[in-house]
Structure 1
Amino acid sequence: MLYLEAAIFVNMEKKKILVCVMNWGLGHATRCIPIITELQVQGFTPLLASDGSALSLLRKEFPELKCFELPSYNITYTQNPKMLMWKLFLQTPHILETIKAEKKMVRRILEEENIHGIISDNRFGARSKKVCSVYITHQLNVLSGNLTYFSSKIHQYYIRKFDECWVPDSPGKKNLSGILGHLKKDHLRLKYIGPISRFEKKPISLKYDYLVLLSGPEPQRSLLQDILFKAFRKTSKKLFFVRGVVTDEDFTCLNPNVTIKNYLFGKELEEVINSSRMVISRSGYTTLLDLAKLEKRAFFIPTPGQNEQEYLAERLERLGIAAYCNQDEFHLDLLKEEPEKYSGLENVGFTPDFRLLFTLFERK
C-alpha cells in the first residue's frame, strides 16, 4: 500500500497544470493563490500565465514558478459610469481577437511544456480539448442592467466549453455571491469550492482604525484614491492605505497618522488586515472572500457602473453585514454608523477538498 501511494505521488509530481489568470484588477490573481499553493502541496507543478499587474503579482508570490505572458484584454473603464456598458460593447471586437490570440498562445505552451491540465480564471481562450480544462468564476449570472439576460447567456456559453466550472462560494443559502453564483436551474458542470482565500485569521492586537484597500481598473481606482486621500488628510485616526498599484513610485503623506504602501503581498497584507478594526474597499468579490475568512468589519465603495459590485454591496447592507455608499457620496461621518448597525463579514465554514478536485486532471 505504501509503495502504491508513493508511486501515485511520483506520477502526480510530474503533472504540470497551467493556471491562467485574468488581469482585471488584482482580485483574480489573488484568489488563485491558494489554488496554486494547493497544487504544489498535492504534488503538481503549476505554471502561471497572465499579463500586466496580475502577472507581476503572481511572479512576486511565486518567484520559483515558470511564468508566461498572455495577450492582454486591455479592458478600459470610463469616468462616466452611465457610459460603461456602451464602452465595453465597443471593445467586443478587441476582446474576441484577444481570445483567439490567447487560444493560440495556450496551444503553444501545451505543446512545449507537456501540460496535463488547465485552470482558467475568467480567461475564455485558456482551454484545450487535449487536457481537462477548468473555468473559475463566481459570475454564472453577469449583471449588466437591461442586458443581464444576454450577458449571462454569453458567459454560460463559454463556461460550457470547459470540462468543469469551479465556483468560489458555498452552494447553500449561506453564501457570499447571491444570484451571481447560484442558478435557479443548474445546467452547467459546476463544483462549489468554498469561499477560498490565501489568508488566515490570527489573534493580532488592533493597530489601525482603518485600512484602505484600493484595487480595480483605471481611471476609477485613481479617482477613489483622490477622494479618500482628501477625506483622510487631517485624520486623527490610525490609517493604513494600500494604493493597489504594483510600482516602486514613492507616494507620501504629511499626516503622521497615515501609512501608505503601493502594494502589500502575502503575510504582510494578512497581518495588516488582521490588525485593522475596519476595512474600506471596493466590493469586489475576491475582497469579500478575504474579509469573510478574516471575519472583518468593512465599508464598501463599489466601482461606479460595475453592476456586480453594486449588487454585492447592496446585498451585504440589506443583510445587515456591511455598509456602503456611492463613490461620489463618501464622507467620514458614514463610518461612525457602522459598528452599531452591521455585524461584519463572517467565515461561512466551507472547506474545499482540493485533493478530490484535482483528480479531474487524471482523466485525460
Structure 2
Amino acid sequence: MKNSKTVLIAPLNWGLGHATRCIPIIRALLAENFTPVIGSDGISLQLLQKEFPDLETITLPDYQIEYAKKGKNFKLKMLKDSPKMLKAISEEKKIVKKLVKKRDFCGIISDNRPGVFSKKVPSVFITHQLNVLSGTTTWFSSKLHQLVIKKFDECWVPDVAEKPNLSGKLGHLKKHSLPLKYIGPLSRLESQKVPIVYDLMVILSGPEPQRTMLEEKLFEEVKYFDGKVLFVRGKVETNQERFQFLNCEVVNFMQSEELEKACNESAFVLARSGYTTVMDLTKLNKKAFFIPTPGQFEQEYLAKRLQKQQLVPMATQDAFSIAQLDRIKDFKGLSALNYKEDYKALFHLFQRK
C-alpha cells in the first residue's frame, strides 16, 4: 500500500494525557489531508479508537508503568520497572523498523515513546519535559531524555517559548542544541458559554494504583460537599456507565465532546496536576483545585508553580479535605494564552519530496 500522506502517531500510555493531547494533532492531520495511523497500547489506544473509530490502529508494546503505593517510593519503583520499559522500547523499535519497510510513511510523531522513530522517515518527538524532574537525579534524567530527543528531526513542545508560559522550567532550557519548536498548548477542548449545571467536576486520571487511591479518598470526602458533583473516574471501558452516589453523578469515562460540554458546565474542577489537564483547563478558562500524584515530581512542580502564581490552589493527597475547596475563590483561575497554531507550517516537515 503506497500512500505518501500516511503519518504514524504514537502516544505513550501513561495516564490519558499523552493520548488526549494527540487528539488535536490527529484532527489537524485529517484536516490537512494526511492519513493518521495510531500506535499505542492499553487505555490510551482504547480512548483513541473510541475518538477515531475509522482510523487504522496498531498495538505497540506495553511499557508496564505502575506507580508506587507510597509517593516516596516512586523513584525506586520506576528504577525497578526500568528493565520492563527498556524491553518494551526495544520491541517497539523492531515493530517500527518493520512498519517503515512495509509502509510508505511520510512522517512519524511520537509522544514520549523513545522507540517510535526512524532515520528513513521525518520523525518528531512531542514532549513538554525538556527537564525531567526526579529530585536529586534531575540532571541525570534530564540528560537521558535530551539524548532521546536529539535522535529526532524535530521536538515539538506544547507550550509557548516566551513568558507567561505553562510548563516553566520543564519546557524551557537556558542553553541547548535541540531541534525545538514551540507549538502552543495542545487541547482537544474548546471554551463555550453555557449555563453552569455542576458546582464541582472531579476528573481522575493517571496510572494505578494511585488513581484508585485518590478515587476512594474523594468518594469519602465528597459526601461533605454542599452542591452538585459530576465525578469522572477516568476508567476507559467498553461501555459508558453512569450511576448516582449521594450528591454525585458518577461516570467511568467521557469522550471529548461530552467532556468538553461537562467541563464548560462546571463551576470548578478538581483534578491531578498533569500537564495535559493544565493545558485543557487553561483553554477553558477554568478555576480549579489540584492534587498532584504523590511522588511525581513534575505534577508537584506544576501544582506548586500555579499556586505560587496565585492561579490554582493545591494540596497533597494525604492532606486534602473537601473544605479546602473554599480556597479556590481566592485564586485567579487559569486563562487561555494568546496563541494561534499553524498546523500547515508544522506539517511541512512531512512533505519532503
1:108 CA displacement: 1.9
Matching of residue 361 in structure 1 with residue 350 in structure 2: yes
Q: Deviations over 1:284-312 (max 9, x none)?
A: 00001100000000000000000000000
Q: Counterpart of 2:335?
A: 346
Aligned to 2:250, the other structure's residue is in SS state: strand
1:42 CA displacement: 0.5
For structure 2, the residue ranges without an aligned partner over 5 or more in a row are none
Q: Counterpart of 2:204?
A: 214
Match of 2:73 among 67, 77, 83: 83
Q: Matches of 1:103 and 1:53 in 2, distance apart?
A: 21
Match of 1:22 among 12, 36, 40: 12
1:363 CA displacement: 2.8
1:112 CA displacement: 2.6
Q: Counterpart of 2:103?
A: 113
Matching of residue 306 in structure 1 with residue 289 in structure 2: no
Matching of residue 53 in structure 1 with residue 34 in structure 2: no
1:186 CA displacement: 3.0
Matching of residue 133 in structure 1 with residue 123 in structure 2: yes
1:14 CA displacement: 4.5
1:266 CA displacement: 1.4
Q: Matches of 1:231 and 1:162 in 2, distance apart?
A: 46
Matching of residue 197 in structure 1 with residue 214 in structure 2: no
Q: Deviations over 1:314-341 (max 9, x none)?
A: 00000000000000111111111211x2
1:22 CA displacement: 0.2
Alpha-carbon RMSD across the aligned residues, in angstroms, is 1.4
Q: Is the contact made by 1:299 and 1:322 (CA closer than 8 Å) also made in structure 2?
A: yes
Which residue identity lines up with residue 197 of structure 1 in the other structure? S
Match of 2:265 among 259, 275, 281: 275
Q: 1:253 to 1:295 in 2, by over 3 A?
A: same
Which residue identity lines up with residue 129 of structure 1 in the other structure? K
Aligned to 1:20, the other structure's residue is in SS state: strand
Which residue identity lines up with residue 207 of structure 2 in the other structure? P
Q: How does 1:177-196 map to 2 (within 5 A)?
A: 177-196=167-186
Q: Is the contact made by 2:4 and 2:105 (CA closer than 8 Å) also made in structure 1?
A: no
Q: Matches of 1:30 and 1:130 in 2, distance apart?
A: 28
Matching of residue 32 in structure 1 with residue 32 in structure 2: no
Q: Counterpart of 1:145?
A: 135
1:249 CA displacement: 7.9
Which residue identity lines up with residue 360 of structure 1 in the other structure? L
Q: 1:61 to 1:352 in 2, by over 3 A?
A: same
Aligned to 2:332, the other structure's residue is in SS state: coil
Q: Deviations over 1:49-95 (max 9, x none)?
A: 00000000000000010000000100111111111101111222221
> Percent of counterpart pairs with the same letter?
50
Q: Matches of 1:182 and 1:254 in 2, distance apart?
A: 43
Which residue identity lines up with residue 344 of structure 1 in the other structure? G
Q: Matches of 1:309 and 1:254 in 2, distance apart?
A: 29
Q: Matches of 1:144 and 1:25 in 2, distance apart?
A: 18
Q: Counterpart of 1:325?
A: 315
Q: Counterpart of 1:4?
A: none
For structure 1, the residue ranges without an aligned partner over 5 or more in a row are 1-10
Which residue identity lines up with residue 342 of structure 1 in the other structure? F
Q: Is the contact made by 2:96 and 2:117 (CA closer than 8 Å) also made in structure 1?
A: yes
Aligned to 1:323, the other structure's residue is in SS state: coil
Aligned to 1:324, the other structure's residue is in SS state: coil
Which residue identity lines up with residue 104 of structure 1 in the other structure? K
Q: Matches of 1:53 and 1:113 in 2, distance apart?
A: 26
Q: Is the contact made by 1:14 and 1:45 (CA closer than 8 Å) also made in structure 2?
A: no
Match of 1:288 among 258, 262, 278: 278
Aligned to 1:95, the other structure's residue is in SS state: helix
